[in-house]
Structure 1
Amino acid sequence: MRTLQLTGIRASHPRTPVLKDVDLTVPAGTTTAVLGPSGCGKTTLLRVIAGFMRPEAGEVRLGDELVAGPDTWVPPERRGFGYVAQEGNLFPHLDLAGNITYGLPRRERKDRARVGELLELVGLPADFATRRPDQLSGGQQQRVALARALARRPGIVLLDEPFSALDPELRVATRDAVAAALRHENATVVLVTHDQAEALSFADQVAIMHAGRFTQVGAPPVVYRTPADRRSATSLGEACFLPGSLVDGAVTCALGTLPVSAATGSGACEVVIRPEQLHLSDPTPTAPLALVTRTEYFGHDALVELRPLHAPTGEALQLRARVPGGATPSVGDTVAVHVMGEAHILTLEPTTTLAEHGA
């Protein structure tokens, strides 16, 4: 196990800056998911870590070893990492044993016991060793690609959107098998992905990237519940944004007076609430009311679009609630909206006094 540390990384494609003073620490034996849209710099970051691309500034350390810096450059083959690409990239003319042991010293290629161990580690029978890649499903091929990456017992494993080409059901099963194998090997892992659920469920730490910078880095529950800004909030799923007024640790908004997380001061603010925090019921005299304007039914649950009635600000807000599939209201219904848990403040414009202005 080795800790990965990036400090002040800058990198460009011809005439186009991509990474802009990126800092990141991946503790030994943990997994960090780098999450962001296409073109934000995720794959460039992975290439810098692997040594496929030299940064213009900054340092990359693997454990105590400096592998990239102003006067230092360790080539990819000496960095001791395992790499799993989006498509797996297995050799079609080799059987699985040959694919897994490819790149190992010649004396280790004949170790069939190790091949069997690796196949079983990624959830495949040991007797698959003699099969060829075209005899496997896409998910099985990705597991073999991971087995090949683990064959050299790397200190760092890099995953470049390895599940994106799989259908949803196969993606989950493959992701679970890969995660179990990596935990078993105590690997330090960097996963690049644009899948919100994948980042939250797979990683110990999520690093949200936009335009070559990290907007927020933290444990999945922290970045989900307390996003740093609107972009970070929507990167991790549906979010409801409401203007309000903060006073004495509570915010008054279109959904009533709500407790907020870690808030001090007072003033105009914007808060974020996740759709699953909104519970709907028949209208009551005391609860805020909303009109159902649209529904999306998924079977196990549904998304319900709501327009709050009597919003204090007078603005036409549109919110989304996630409800059980069997409790989906109809378009045109008026429902009471109950907020479970705390809202999170994204922005705050503190109230000022004449004294603060020197009056």
Structure 2
Amino acid sequence: MSDLRLSGISASHPRTPVLHDVDLSVASGSTTAVLGPSGCGKTTLLRVVAGFMRPDAGEVHIGSDLVAGGGTWVPPEKRGFGYVAQEGNLFPHLTVAANITYGLPRRDRKDSARVAELLELVGLPGDHAGRRPDQLSGGQQQRVALARALARRPRVVLLDEPFSALDPELRVATRDAVAAALAAEKATVVLVTHDQAEALSFADQVAIMHEGRITQAGAPVEVYRAPTDRRSAVSLGEACFLAGRTGDGVVTCALGSLPVRGASGERDVDLLIRPEQLHLGVDGGAGCPAQVTRTEFFGHDALVELRLDGVDGALLRARTIGPLTPPVGSRVSVTVDGEPHLIDR
């Protein structure tokens, strides 16, 4: 178990820059999720950490060891990491036990106690040790891949979108089991994903990546509540933006004058309001009048699109309890729970 530090990392595929001056720190025993769209450089970042790819500039430290940069290059097999890919990549001709122990020294490959310990850790029955990958579900295969990654007691575990190929229900169950296993091992983990819910629920730290740059990193609740820009806000979930102007500690916008931290001086800003912050009341009640123009019903909750009265084109999306979703065309009043987040233009 070691901390991981990347400083000034730049990397490119032939003639195509991918990573640009990336800084990232992962505390020992913690999990960091690197969140971003496909093609933003997430997997390239993992490849640099693993040693599958040399950076053009910058340094990678695992614990006190410099493993890349400054004329130093430590090959992948000597970096002490565990790697779990999207598909698990188990050897189809080997049993579960043989897959798990594949990377161990020969003298340790017949250690059935270690195999049983790892299977228990990832939530699989001991009788799975003799099965082959084609006898397992997708989620079970990913758990075996994690057990293999943990078998050598790695310093850092790298997860490359390991749940993306699973169906939604299996994805959640597998993710929970993997998270519990990693926590039990006190592993230092880097997960790359494009799934915002996965990043926010799985990690101690979320690093947002766009076009090869880390634009923000912090605790999940911190980056969700206070993103640095509109693009980061949208990457973390549903977001409503209202144009406003600051003055005397409030921002005046289509929803009235709202108290917001940082609203000093006079300047044009954007207000970020999450759908769950919008409260819908009865027509004529306290708040701004609006009409429901569209709904998306999900069962447990729903998204309600609203057009504010007297504001040309201003649309908001509120999150409500599913069974209480107002019908399209109905009139409601809108108020804001909690403080919106101010984003300078």
What TM bracket, shorter-length normalisation? over 0.9
1:136 to partner: Cα distance: 0.6
1:259–1:341 contact (8 Å) kept in structure 2: no
CA contact (8 A) 2:42 2:209 kept: yes
Cross-structure match for 2:211? 211
Is the counterpart of residue 335 in structure 1 residue 325 in structure 2? no
Q: Which amino acid in the other structure matches residue 157 of structure 1?
A: V
1:40 is aligned with what amino acid?
A: C
Superposition pairs of residues 63-74 of structure 1, within 5 angstroms = 63-74=63-74
Instruction: Give me the CA root mean square deviation.
Output: 1.0
Q: Distance in 2 between matches of 1:276 and 1:58?
A: 41
Q: How many angstroms apart in 1 are the aligned matches of 2:263 and 2:221? A: 18
* Range that drifts further, 181-190 or 244-253: 244-253
Name 1:316's counterpart in structure 2.
Answer: 313
Q: Is the 8 A contact 2:244 2:252 kept in 1?
A: yes
Cα separation, 2, equivalents of 1:266 and 1:183: 47
C-alpha distance after superposition, 1:266-300 (max 9, x if no partner): 32211100001011111125410111111001111
Structure 2: tracts of 5 or more residues without a match: none
Indicate the residue corresponding to 2:111 in structure 1.
111
1:61 is matched with 61
* Counterpart residue identity of residue 146, structure 2: L
Q: Distance in 2 between matches of 1:191 and 1:200?
A: 11
What TM-score, normalized to structure 1? 0.94
**Whole-angstrom CA distance in 2 between matches of 1:216 and 1:30:** 17
Distance 2:75 2:34 in 1: 23
Answer whether contact 1:250 1:257 (CA < 8 A) is retained: yes
Question: Which portions of structure 1, spanning 4 or more consecutive aligned residues, are displaced by more than 6 angstroms?
Answer: none
Instruction: Tell me the residue number matched to 2:259.
Output: 259
Identity of aligned residues (%): 74
For 1:262 and 1:190, locate their aligned partners in 2 and report how far apart those are by CA, in whole Å.
Answer: 33
Verify: 1:80 aligned to 2:77, yes or no: no
Q: Secondary structure at the match of 1:237?
A: coil
Q: Deviations over 1:187-225 (max 9, x none)?
A: 000000000000000000000000000111110001000
SS of equivalent residue, structure 1 residue 90? coil
Correspondence for 1:136: 136
2:59 and 2:69 in contact (8 A); partners too: yes
- Say if 1:6 and 1:174 are closer, same or farther in 2 by CA, change over 3 A: same
- The count of corresponding residues between Structure 1 and Structure 2 is 345
For residues 300-335 of structure 1, the C-alpha deviation after alignment (integer angstroms, 9 at most, x for no partner) is: 111011111123xxx411110110011111111121
Matched residue type, 1:281: G
Residue 14 of structure 1 deviates from its aligned partner by 1.1
Q: State the AA in 1 paired with 2:33.
A: A
Structure 2 counterpart of 1:154? 154
Q: Deviations over 1:39-61 (max 9, x none)?
A: 00000000000000000000000
Query: What letter matches 1:144 in structure 2?
Result: V
Mean CA deviation greater in 8-17 or 315-324: 315-324
1:93-129 CA-to-partner distances (Å, cap 9, x unmatched) read 1100000000100110010000000000000011211
CA deviations 1:224-281 (Å, max 9, x no partner) are 0011001100001100000112122221211122222444333221110000101111
Q: Distance in 2 between matches of 1:273 and 1:147?
A: 41
Q: What CA distance in whole angstroms lies between the structure 2 residues aligned with 1:53 and 1:209?
A: 19
